[in-house]
Amino acid sequence: MRIQFIILLCLCSIFPASAARLAIIIDDIGYRLTDEAALTLPQNITLSVLPHTPLGQKLANDGHQKGHEIMLHLPMQALNGKALGPGGLTNDMNETQIKQQLQAAFNSIPFAKGANNHMGSLLTQMDEPMLWVMQSLKQQQLFFVDSVTTKYTKAGNTANQLGVPLLRREVFLDNDISQRGLEKQFKVIIERTKQQGKLVAIAHPYPETIRFLRANIARLEANGIILVHTSQLFDDINVATSNRTNPTATLK
């Protein structure tokens, strides 16, 4: 009986029931050779890769092999009119165009289990385009992370209506890439994760960010926080499995 009690205590110390969970997504991956540095981060970091980019497919494959969860970083039209790059969704597209563009974007990024928006301060405010996006994700059992580039986003409401698993970005780590700025935001991430029990943070593959995370990621465990893949923040969902390569199903 005593041995069983000791074993139970050990298991509880390894998997604390009350541990807070944090997902860190590194997005904007795919254009720069320096983006490869993201692969040196712990495997529980999620990598979100831009479609149709010179390095996107290779980094998605390499990241998957190293144990990272892969997402699609989906370009969506912004209010400022900034160029989207290939694979972007715009407000002048009809339903067929948006769904075909989304399918092509996923086809370009192997192993993607979900998506988050790149920019999108205009498109995420629009009812029909977001409905079409969520219908497509629902069909393939993919999840969505709202990067929350506008407080008027309708992504959450639309996803909830269709039963698409959705999370919201809570904190950006590196809007300010100075050591002081990164430290300030990292402390915010730690405190809010402990308060809320789970949290999504987004960062970018800047050399300063990568160096900071490598040097400070161990502080999470010291604060009772478990770093997890983004899909592990969902308590009970059925998302596409991690061996998903290039989908071939046609979206309607």
pLDDT of residue 83: 87
Distance CA 114, CA 106 (A): 9
pLDDT of residue 81: 86
- How far from the centroid of its chain's Cα atoms is residue 202's Cα? 7
Nearest to 39 by CA among 64, 57, 16: 64
pLDDT of residue 89: 98
DSSP string, the chain: -HHHHHHHHHHHHHS-TT-EEEEEEEEEESS-GGGGGGGGS-TTSEEEE-TT-TTHHHHHHHHHHTT-EEEEEEEE--TT-----TT-B-TT--HHHHHHHHHHHHHHSTTEEEEEEEE-TTGGG-HHHHHHHHHHHHHTT-EEEE--SSTT--HHHHHHHHT--EEE--EES-SS-SHHHHHHHHHHHHHHHHHHSEEEEEE---HHHHHHHHHHTHHHHHTTEEE--GGGGSSS-----TT--S--PPP-
Using the structure block, give the residue that is written with the tokens 């009350």.
18
User: Quick one: CATH architecture of 20-233?
Assistant: Alpha-Beta Barrel (3.20)
pLDDT of residue 120: 95
Distance CA 148, CA 124 (A): 9
Distance CA 92, CA 179 (A): 41
**Per-position pLDDT tens, the chain of length 252:** 444 434 434 434 444 556 899 999 999 999 999 999 999 999 999 999 999 999 999 999 999 999 999 999 999 999 998 988 999 999 999 999 999 999 999 999 999 999 999 999 999 999 999 999 999 999 999 999 999 999 999 999 999 999 999 999 999 999 999 999 999 999 999 999 999 999 999 999 999 999 999 999 999 999 999 999 999 999 755 544 433 444 333 332
Domain segments of the chain as ranges: 20-233
pLDDT of residue 7: 40
**Beta strands 198-203; 171-172: pairing state:** parallel
pTM of the model: 0.88
